Amino acid sequence: MAKNKLLLVTVFFAVTLAVLTACAVKSSVPPPAVSVQVPKTPYAESDYPPEPVSGKTVFEFFRDEKIAAGWNLGNTLDSHNNGISGETVWGNPPANQELMNGIKAAGFDIIRIPVTWMGEIGNAPDYRLRLNRLKRVSEVAGMAHNAGLKVIINLHHDGSTESGGRDLGWLSISKASRSQNEYDAITAQFTRVWEQIAIYFKNYGDWLIFESFNELHDGSWQSTSDTRLLSTLNKWNQVFLNTVRSSGGNNESRYLMVGAYCNDNRQALSDNFSLPADTVSGRLILSFHYYAPYEFTIRGSRSSWGTDAEKQKVESDFAPFKEKYLDKNIPVIIGECGAVLQLYPNDSAKEDQARKSRLDYISHIFSAAKKHGLIPVYWDNGSTRGGGEKFGLFDRRTGQPNSPDSEALIKLMVNNVL
């Protein structure tokens, strides 16, 4: 009996150890999908002095810092031409301190600085980023910080797919989803790029947030049920997190923002999307973009908005994020939203209708976001003329509203979230 009891005890502890080991493996963060060798020479590090961090969860940080509304520095560091990024190639002047001061003075709390890195990346296997590009991003982020703004930087048009089969950026989710070799090659480059950004900014404090990428899609600009695409996106968000966390410094607990396929609100609520597993709790932010209805907000082919049904749709789109994320202390940022300026030189009545509808739309989006605990970030591309998307509200040189209507829109945004 003694031998049998000893045997049972031995088996019990062996099984217990195996179960605990399995649980530990399951709950630990998986390694990056692709093994990346040490670069031939160390990656660049900034001489920025190490800043203290609060130790707060991002939910606590946003609450205590009263982060309620934000603004995008669109079509600036994210602009590109012929596969090469360039700050002014889409018509905006270089970012300056006056602009950042104006954004803060207007009442915004956080700025998203989209950054395209394409054309600034060297050859495999190191994919070394051009140092001047890192320095310029740090300068612009520093201007925003000096003005008192919290800052988000990302990979923006690096994943651009203009239409099915036509990839403008190197971070092609379509290619990666069709071929294991393509997935491995693109993921290696993605890892390298984020490794360098993370290392360069590792001393920066809580005010700097990293966002994995922007609106990855296959060219359709639509939600998808393709599990290959959705799986690739989930894997890349995990690779992003693992890479940042392993770079040391403040990145071990930095606030990180991720989004679902095409940054679609429906995809973010889908069971096919999952937040990456983290080594530290309470540091993740969920982001989605909101441009509904497209015909009014972006295309500008509808001059009217504001029926009860249209307003209720916004409520219905925003409400589910409470149970899915906010109740779990995961902040939700609407990383882009807004509506274009519509001009009808030969139809003053239609132009007046479009103007009033735009004011109503912005007011409702920002107030509904506040009601449902979301943080809206307006998309401003600096444009007010021509045939393109006219989202511009600020004079990019002075930081002042570019028109009385723009000033009214800005006041609606900040007053609805105070």
- pLDDT at position 301 is 96
Does domain 53-415 sit in CATH 3.20.20.80?
A: yes
- Judged by average pLDDT, the poorest of 33-47, 122-136, 339-353, 390-404 is 33-47
Burial 358-394 (b: 16+ CB within 10 A, else e): bbbbbbbbbbbbbebebbbbbbbbbbbeeeebbbbbb
The domains of the chain are located at 53-415
* Residue 323 annotated as catalytic: no
pLDDT in tens, 200-256: 999 999 999 999 999 999 999 999 999 999 999 999 999 999 999 999 999 999 999
Could you say which of 120, 195, 211, 215 is catalytic?
215
Label residue 355 by pLDDT band (50, 70, 90). Answer: very high
Average confidence score pLDDT of the chain: 92
Could you say which of 87, 195, 336, 389 is catalytic?
336
Label residue 34 by pLDDT band (50, 70, 90). Answer: low
pTM of structure = 0.92
- pLDDT at position 164 is 82
Query: What is the average pLDDT across 57-72?
Result: 98
* Residue 336 annotated as catalytic: yes
Label residue 165 by pLDDT band (50, 70, 90). Answer: confident
- Is the pLDDT at 33 greater than 60? The verdict is no
- Higher pLDDT: 30 or 370? It is 370
- Higher pLDDT: 24 or 237? It is 237
Query: What is the average pLDDT across 351-360?
Result: 98
Query: What is the average pLDDT across 336-353?
Result: 98
- pLDDT at position 5 is 33
Query: What is the average pLDDT across 71-98?
Result: 97
- pLDDT at position 316 is 98
Label residue 162 by pLDDT band (50, 70, 90). Answer: confident
pLDDT in tens, 289-301: 999 999 999 999 9
